[in-house]
Amino acid sequence: MKRITLFSMANCPHCKTAKQYLEQQKIAFRLVDVKSPSGQKEFAKTGYRGVPVLKIGDQLLNGFSVKGFNNLYKE
């Protein structure tokens, strides 16, 4: 089972979609608000600028798509 982290911020429709998908699939994940000081630090390490970014195990997915997520999650 891979650990999932979702980097997101409020008012981001794609972040909301990603969050809803994970919840519907009953996949446990950690939500990181990139607007919080600790979230900003952690997000900076990904090297990406836009959200959502999903960390799946030790791989990163920039943006959210069901297919992209499942490809990394089910590897």
Q: Where are the domains of the chain?
A: 4-73
pLDDT of 1 reads 78
| Residue segments in the chain with a per-residue pLDDT below the cut of 70 | none
What class does CATH assign to 4-73? alpha beta
pLDDT of 75 reads 83
Handedness of CA 33, 39, 40, 46 (dihedral sign): negative
CA distance 9 to 51: 7
